[in-house]
Structure 1
Amino acid sequence: MEKINAGLIMLAEMEERLPPSERKVASYILEHPTKAIKMTAVELGEASKTSGAAVIRLCKSLNVSGIQELKLRIAGDLQREMVDDRDIEPNEPLQTIVEKVTTQSSQILRETADLIDDKELLRAVTSLAQAKRIFFFGVGASGIAAMDADQKFLRINKNSTALMDLHLGATAVVNAEEGDVVVGISFSGETHEVAKILEIASETPATTISLTRYGNSLVSSLADICLYTSPNVEATFRSGATSSRLAQLHVIDILFMAVATSSYEQTINYLDTTRAAIEGLHKKVVKRKN
């Protein structure tokens, strides 16, 4: 099923990284989105002083099926209510803070869902479901996402490890084997440590997965499978990566649920066993008799 949103986000994020002719088309669409969705590829090429071929190449660069999908996504963006993305202000009323944070969180989750490529998601889920070992790597706030992924996959008996130190990560990943999966998490896609881990992993038989903001980046260029979150820039008070972390956790939840449902009965047994073990931790310890 074709996605119906995120066209303008994709164009804005990729605009400066596109070849000149494709950039002209992207700029025209961003400036005149309402007009653009009523045009054919040829008309859009003429309006942007390029060609219909440039429009088709732009669609390929955005990894959409064609001009119809791109126009459908843009139309969906235009129908969606604009979100107040202002930052928190001095002495902000509590209720306003609640509304702003909730609205921003809802938007970041929806945009991230719209940016998920179904084919790449399926490849990621298949790799994780069949993995012998899984290494999640991230630093800073992305390290929190790696830890969350680790504890989720451990609950369904996956041999999973969260790594946040470059030296430890390199030590673990350099010995990765066929059937292992290395997941590099970086919102910017330019985090040196994450790129280095994926670079090391790419020299092994392991499968590599990146989770970054949408667009071309160093980290995504080093991965076999690329997953994306919304590229929305963090405002000042949200620079603690609140929105980006939420988007990362959203994708991790999707991966976990998809892997879990691929072996449903076995997963339920694992979850029941781990739940019972946790509940047992709170019971009084009874000393064994010799």
Structure 2
Amino acid sequence: MAIHDNILIKIRDMKDSLTPVEKMVAEYVLANTEEIPHLSIKNLAQFSKTSDASVLRFCKTMGYSGYRGFIVSISASLGYMEEDQKDPYTDIQPGDDLPVIIANIFRNNIKSIEDTISVINWNEIARAIKVLRESTRIVFFGIGASGLVCIDAEQKFSRINKMCHAYTDGHSQLTAATLLGKGDVAFLVSNSGDTAEILDALEIARKNGATTIALTKYNKSELADLSNIVLNISTPEITMRSGAMGSRIAMLSVIDVLFAGVASAEYQKVQKFLSKTHNILAGKRRK
């Protein structure tokens, strides 16, 4: 699988959190991708019924210093978009045959992981690994499906002797956040970035001096805006539970990357812990 940075996926995921005028630019770009590389900033402003300044603001919101860099990225992404259209996200439909369900779920999960590679910031991953390595303890916060991601993270980091714990209900999260301090990491998981309980925990953790890491979809959100480090995933635009499944798989993949990054960097130190935990678990298996 080729690793590429696809600006069209970023626009798709960010679209609903843009300002109304920026959203007009985004919708025109997504509906007319083939012609965008041939348009001047004035043309795009005219066709999207906005202004030159609005188009430029949109480019800056998407991470570009100017219009030219944005157009170059659009051109590079067009080939990848053709592949995406051959294999789009597919929602669960009533009465689907089992082979169709199997194919669609696996395809959605694969696409969620591939699209996440396009939106995740590698520098933020590196910063997160450094912070997790240096932390006194790690506390994972998540509600519902995000809580399952936290439990997985706790299980992994515990194996290399990191002091960590996952909290998956609102009351215990408030207590845990209150006890955090400098040197601790609050790792907050929320697909939307707007989960009330997670934002409450974030506010308390920030006040107490803990470093905050957010794992959330590529979007503008309060969680992303207020966290020290932001790790983004890509989520499909479909309505049924298959969407949540895809985001969960992408989040679990990011957790795997963080765990592998920490374990690899500290391999001499953690090898004995991995061996000990492997051996004790292997000893419990029935012959």
Compute the TM-score of the two structures, normalised by the length of structure 1.
Answer: 0.86
Query: Is the aligned partner of 1:131 residue 2:131?
Result: no
Q: In the alignment, which residue of structure 2 is the partner of 1:70?
A: 73
Q: Which residue does the alignment assign to 1:287?
A: none
Aligned to 1:197: 201
Cross-structure match for 1:278: 281
C-alpha displacement at 1:23, in angstroms?
Answer: 3.5
- AA matched with 2:279: A
The answer for the alignment partner of 1:104 in structure 2 is 108
- Over alpha carbons, which structure has the higher Rg? 1
Matched AA of 1:23: K
Q: Structure 1 residues 76-85 or 121-130, which shifts more?
A: 76-85
Alpha-carbon distance between aligned partners in 1 of 2:235 and 2:138, rounded to the nearest angstrom: 26
Structure 1 residue aligned with 2:83, among 73, 80, 97?
Answer: 80
Counterpart of 2:98?
94
Letter matched to residue 188 of structure 2: G
Query: CA RMSD, aligned part only?
Result: 2.5
- Unpaired runs of at least 5, structure 2: none
Local SS of the residue matching 1:136: strand
Paired position in structure 1 for 2:214: 210
Counterpart of 1:242 in structure 2: which amino acid? M
Cα distance change of structure 1 residues 219 and 274 upon mapping to structure 2, 3 Å threshold: same
Structure 2 match to 1:268: 271
Tell me which stretches of 4 or more aligned residues in structure 1 moved more than 6 Å: none
Q: Write 1 or 2 for the structure with the bigger share of helix.
A: 2
Aligned sequence identity (%)? 35
Alignment partner, residue 18 of structure 1: 18
Would you say the 8 A contact 1:5–1:77 is kept in 2? no
Letter in 2 for 1:95: P
SS at structure 1 position matched to 2:96: coil
In the TM superposition, what are the counterparts of 1:144-159 in structure 2 within 5 Å? Answer: 144-159=148-163
Q: Distance in 1 between matches of 2:248 and 2:185?
A: 21
Q: CA deviation at 1:73?
A: 5.4
CA contact (8 A) 1:131 1:180 kept: yes
Q: What's the counterpart of residue 164 of structure 2? A: 160
CA displacement at 1:256 relative to structure 2: 1.0
Q: 1:99 to 1:280 in 2, by over 3 A?
A: same
Match of 1:142 among 143, 146, 150: 146
How far 1:64 moved relative to its partner?
Answer: 4.6
Structure 1 residues 278 and 180 mapped into 2: Cα distance closer, same or farther (>3 Å)? same
Aligned pair in 2 of structure 1 residues 206, 134: CA closer, same or farther (>3 Å)?
same
Shift of 1:41: 4.7
Listed one character per residue, the Cα deviations across residues 86-120 of structure 1 (whole Å, up to 9, x for unaligned) are 33334432222221111111111101111111121
* 1:251-279 deviation digits (Å, cap 9, x = unpaired): 11111111111122223222112111222
Structure 1 unaligned residues grouped into runs of 5+: 285-290
CA 50–237 in structure 1, closer or farther in 2 if over 3 Å, else same: closer
User: Residue type of the partner of 2:145?
Assistant: A
Deviates more, 1:133-142 or 1:57-66: 57-66
Q: Residues 78 and 86 from structure 1, CA distance in 2 versus in 1: closer, same or farther, beyond 3 angstroms?
A: closer
Cα distance, 1:278–1:4 mapped onto 2, change above 3 Å: closer
**What is residue 258 of structure 1 aligned with on the other side?**
261
Using structure 2 for the length normalisation, give the TM-score: 0.87
Amino acid at match of 1:8: L
Q: What are the superposed Cα offsets for residues 29-67 of structure 1, whole Å, 9 maximum, x if unpaired?
A: 122111113345565445545555544432321235631
Structure showing greater relative contact order (alpha-carbon pairs closer than 8 Å, 6 or more residues apart): 2
